[in-house]
Amino acid sequence: MPASNTLLTIGMITNEALAVLVNQLTFTRQVNRQYDSEFGRVGAKIGDTLNIRKPVRYIARRTPTLDVQGTTETSVPLVLTTQYGCDMSFTSAELKLSIDDFRDRIIKPAISNMANAIDFDGMQLYKNIYNTVYKSTGPGNTPDQLITYLNAGVKLDNEAAPMGDRRLVLNPIAQATIVNALTTIFNPNKQISEQYLRGSMGTAVGFDWYMAQNVPVHTIGVYAANVSGGAVTVTTAVTSGSTIVTGGWTAGDILNIGDVITLSTVYAINPQNYQSTGQLRQFVVTATAVADSGGAMTISVSPAIVFGTAQATVTSVTNSIPAGATLSVFGASGTVTPQNLAFCKDAFTFATVPLPGDMPGTKCSVATAPELGMSIRLMQGTDMVNDRMISRLDLLGGWATIRPELACRIAG
pLDDT above 70 for 54? no
**Cα–Cα distance measured from residue 337 to residue 162, given in angstroms and rounded to the nearest whole number:** 28
Region 5-11: what's the mean pLDDT? Answer: 66
How confident is the model at residue 12, as a pLDDT? 81
How many CA within 13 A on the CB side of residue 72?
Answer: 8
The CATH number of 137-216+338-346 is 3.30.2320
The structural domains of the chain, with segments of one domain joined by +, span: 10-125+348-399, 137-216+338-346, 221-334
Helix (H, G, I), strand (E, B) or coil at 407: strand
Contact 34, 348 (CB under 8 A): no
CA angle 234, 284, 291 (to 5 degrees): 45
Q: 378 has which bridge partners? A: 365, 393
Which one is predicted more confidently, 51 or 306? Answer: 306
Q: Backbone phi, then psi, for 84, in 5-degree steps? A: -70, 145
pLDDT above 60 for 360? yes
Closest CA to 366 of 16, 15, 8, 9: 15
Give 326's pLDDT tier (boundaries 50, 70, 90).
very high
How many CA within 13 A on the CB side of residue 53?
Answer: 7
- Orientation of helix 10-24 relative to helix 108-123, angle to 10°: 40
**Cα–Cα distance measured from residue 343 to residue 361, given in angstroms and rounded to the nearest whole number:** 45
User: pLDDT tens digits for 186-214?
Assistant: 555 554 554 455 444 577 788 999 998 89
**Cα–Cα distance measured from residue 221 to residue 335, given in angstroms and rounded to the nearest whole number:** 8
User: pLDDT tens digits for 67-113?
Assistant: 766 666 677 778 888 899 888 877 777 777 777 787 787 778 778 88
Q: 203 has which bridge partners? A: 208
Region 46-67: what's the mean pLDDT? Answer: 69
Region 344-372: what's the mean pLDDT? Answer: 81
Which one is predicted more confidently, 112 or 57? Answer: 112
Among the ranges given (40-44, 54-58, 318-322), the one the predictor scored with the smallest mean pLDDT = 40-44
**Cα–Cα distance measured from residue 45 to residue 351, given in angstroms and rounded to the nearest whole number:** 12
Contact 82, 397 (CB under 8 A): yes
User: pLDDT tens digits for 278-325?
Assistant: 999 999 999 999 999 999 999 999 999 999 888 899 999 999 999 999
Which one is predicted more confidently, 36 or 246? Answer: 246
pLDDT above 50 for 1? no
**Cα–Cα distance measured from residue 295 to residue 275, given in angstroms and rounded to the nearest whole number:** 35
DSSP H or E segment with residue 242: strand 240-247
How confident is the model at residue 47, as a pLDDT? 63
Which one is predicted more confidently, 102 or 351? Answer: 351
Cα distances (Å, whole numbers) of residue 140 to 143, 169, 245: 9, 17, 28
How confident is the model at residue 122, as a pLDDT? 95
Q: How many CB atoms lie within 10 A of CB 38?
A: 15
Among the ranges given (50-64, 105-119, 200-214, 269-283), the one the predictor scored with the smallest mean pLDDT = 50-64
Computed over every residue of the chain, the mean pLDDT equals 84
* Bond into 303 cis (ω within 30): yes
pLDDT above 90 for 382? no
Same fold, 10-125+348-399 and 137-216+338-346: no
pLDDT above 60 for 42? no
pLDDT above 60 for 5? no
Cα distances (Å, whole numbers) of residue 294 to 226, 244, 250, 361: 16, 16, 8, 64
Contact 179, 371 (CB under 8 A): no
Region 142-160: what's the mean pLDDT? Answer: 94
Closest CA to 16 of 390, 383, 283, 367: 367
Give the dihedral sign, CA 137/141/143/145.
negative
How confident is the model at residue 38, as a pLDDT? 56
Give 62's pLDDT tier (boundaries 50, 70, 90).
low
Note the residue count of the chain. 412
Q: How many CB atoms lie within 10 A of CB 380?
A: 17
Residue burial 66-101, b: 16+ Cβ < 10 Å; e: rest: eeeeeeeeeebebbbebebbbebebeeeebbbebee
pLDDT above 60 for 140? yes
Pick the CATH number of 10-125+348-399 from 3.40.50, 3.30.2400, 3.30.70, 1.10.150: 3.30.2400
Q: How far is CA 85 from the centre of its chain?
A: 21
How confident is the model at residue 189, as a pLDDT? 56
Give 155's pLDDT tier (boundaries 50, 70, 90).
very high
Phi-psi sector, 199: left (phi>0), alpha (psi -120 to 50), beta = left
How confident is the model at residue 127, as a pLDDT? 98
Phi-psi sector, 160: left (phi>0), alpha (psi -120 to 50), beta = left
Q: How far is CA 10 from the centre of its chain?
A: 34
How confident is the model at residue 200, as a pLDDT? 46
How confident is the model at residue 58, as a pLDDT? 64
